[in-house]
Amino acid sequence: MLAIDNRVVMVSGANRGIGRAVAKSLLEKGYRLSLGARRLEALADLAGERALAVAYDALDPASAEGWVAATLERFGQIDGLINNAGALRLATIEDSPDEDFEHLWQVNAMGPLRLTRQALPHLRRSGVGRIVNVVSLSGRRVRGDNAGYPMSKFAAMALSHATRRVGWQDGVRVTALCPAWVATDMASGAEVSASEMIQPEDLAELVATVLALPNNASIAELPVNCRFEDMF
């Protein structure tokens, strides 16, 4: 396992759900964090000497560049990126307008791409750069009528593998974390009860494990089930 030392990790969507659980876990383990969210007031209890809170909006193309610049100004390095910020809405092939598909595409695919593009040179310099893309099992299979969400998540999966390829020689390791239903407000109204869902704190432990693995023990995809389903 890699020593944490003073490694700096960026976490998008850190104000709630999975992102907040990841931020709390990594802080407890000794990482320095740069936390991105649209609502900075929700990060007030996490920000401090070892955690910087920065306004970040996945829908704003300039937001990624500004956040990376602020992180470098504060810490001088970037060793990890957790692309967690995401959107979920129903977008069906026959009944939904293009705008619904575009929203999902911009948040779930283009948002992580922009952050990756800005952070990658600094992750290369780290030598042990890590990217964890919170993708979803919907990036590996399609269930139900919602086409827009899995389309965007399949793209996020492709981004994970493409980044893994281009960063490998410089020690950048990329993991696509693919959970089923997670007990967050985004999953309210699902057919699975919150008690049956994956808990955000458990995903946070998986993220911490992936970050700490050495370069010669990389996990490309990490599917996480909360109920049985065939995996292909």
Reply yes or no on whether 56 is catalytic. Answer: no
Structure pTM? 0.97
Question: Does the pLDDT value for residue 1 go beyond 90?
Answer: no
pLDDT, residue 232, reads 62
Average pLDDT for residues 25-45, to the nearest whole number? 96
Q: Other CB atoms closer than 10 Å to residue 111's CB: what's the count?
A: 27
DSSP bridge pairs for 34: 10, 52
Q: Find the catalytic residue in 67, 149, 154, 181.
A: 149
Q: Are 76 and 7 in contact (CB under 8 A)?
A: no
DSSP H or E stretch at residue 221? strand 221-224
Assigned architecture for domain 8-224 = 3-Layer(aba) Sandwich (3.40)
Q: Is 83 left (phi over 0), alpha (psi -120 to 50) or beta?
A: beta
Q: What is the pLDDT of residues 97-156, one digit of tens each?
A: 999 999 999 999 999 999 999 999 999 999 999 999 999 999 999 999 999 999 999 999
Domain ranges of the chain: 8-224
Q: Are 128 and 121 in contact (CB under 8 A)?
A: no
Q: What is the pLDDT of residues 49-90, one digit of tens each?
A: 999 999 999 999 999 999 999 999 999 999 999 999 999 999
CA distances, 111 to each of 55, 95, 122 (Å): 14, 25, 18
